[in-house]
Amino acid sequence: MAGVYTVSQINAYIKNLFVRDYALSNICVKGEVSNCKYHTSGHIYFTLKDEGGAIACVMFARDRQGLGFRLSDGQQVEVRGQISVYEKTGSYQLYARSAALSGRGELYERFEKLKQELQEMGMFDPCYKKPIPAYAMRVGIVTAPTGAAIQDICNISRRRNPYVELILYPALVQGRDAADSIVRGIRTLDQMGLDVLIVGRGGGSIEDLWAFNEEKVARAIFDAETPIISAVGHETDFTIADFAADLRAPTPSAAAELATFEYNAFLEEVESFRSAFERGILGKLDGAQNGLMQRRLSLQIHSPGAVLKERKSLLSEYRLRMLQTLSDRTGAARLRLENGRQQAEGLMQARLSESRHRLALTAGRLHGLSPLRRISGGFGYLMDERGQGIRSVRELSVQDRFTVCLSDGRIRAEVLALEPEETVSRKKEQNHG
């Protein structure tokens, strides 16, 4: 039938109209960046919007060389490029060749202002961050009951640890009532004494994620007693909830990784601890047994019986040595004593002979000088009345009585006259003259 065209023909025709339009081939469009995605291929997909509408945009990897900043949601930019039709879907979009910042969007301004205020209040200070339990068994989740986020969390958690209990609070995560719903979910699960909470949703534009930028949500997270992991959007998405939470996860899947521990790894760790503990105990036991054996040997060596036996043996040995030494010393002493005795006897005999000889000589002299010998020859000696010997005539006076001792008796006499030696000498001289 004439006048009937295929979809491809229509899309190609419309694209040709765009291409031939000079104004659309090099146009500059101003708007707020939204739903910005950096693809692994290097292309950037985003939306430009204003109060009255939106247009899809793409910047290919080859055109990113002149981009001096990173595109992100909320930025007010001026994009230069060509508007054309993507034939496969029949949608038109802006193929960006360059972009420049022209200001910040309203939502981005609100985001930065609230972030600054809460930061100055200290709500983001690391000192208030609670540690995430390493072995959580009861995990609360505040997110939508449907969607990829809860599915990812459940799948990752079941794979890592099928014994972890997951408790879901089905909250609104987008729209006017989403912030109040998230706050109720946080407070409800916080009262259940769970180990950790995951608060988040899947990716989206800044408008889609705005509930997690509300101050009431940030305060609910900050006031919670239970540690909270935020998991909002994709890795490049940041919300106020991320800064207020105790830990930020780049994605809901990553939050499940952080909140749950891997059961098999836990068993391996427990087995490792058990093996190490067993080795330690066995090592301690071996050490204790070796120590016990050493102490037992030491006790046997140093026991009273062993010590006494050793002392007896030493005493017997000392006794034999002492007896031998005593015998040797006694024999030597006896020999020395006998030699000394013989020497002493010889010396005494010689001394005795010598003494006898001297005695005989002395006796001969004494005999020659003995008064008795003289007395026996007609001599005698005088004593006064007191029995004292008289040696001089001056010791007597006329009429004194004295005694004359002779060899055969005594004579009692009286002094009739005294003639001293000088008187006798004068008389002799007179007689000779």
pLDDT digit string, tens, across residues 178-201: 999 999 999 999 999 999 999 999
Mean pLDDT of the chain: 85
What domains appear along the chain, each with residue ranges and CATH number? 7-104 (2.40.50.140), 110-122+134-264 (3.40.50.2300), 374-432 (no CATH)
Return the residue matching tokens 């961050």. 129
Give SS3 for 77.
strand
CA 196, 199, 201, 202 torsion-angle sign: negative
- Give the distance from CA 122 to its chain's centroid: 36
Would you say 380 and 388 are in contact if contact means Cβ atoms under 8 Å apart? no
CA distance 278 to 239: 49
DSSP 130: P
CA distance 266 to 298: 46
Half-sphere exposure (Cβ direction) of 186: Cα atoms closer than 13 Å: 28
pLDDT of residue 1: 43
Return the residue matching tokens 């005698």. 380
- Which residues of the chain fall below pLDDT 50? 1
Give SS3 for 230.
strand
* Neighbour tally for 54: CB within 10 Å: 14
CA distance 117 to 113: 6
CA distance 164 to 12: 55
pLDDT of residue 424: 66
The model scores a pTM over 0.75: no
DSSP 140: E
Short-list 177, 337, 186, 154, CA closest to 260 = 154
pLDDT of residue 378: 64
Give SS3 for 345.
helix
pLDDT of residue 295: 80
Percent of the chain exceeding pLDDT 90 equals 34
CB-based contacts of 363, cutoff 8 Å, min separation 6: none
Tokens of 325: 């030494």
Interior/surface letters 160-187, b for 16+ CB within 10 angstroms, e for the rest: bbeebebebbebbbbeeebbbbbbebbe
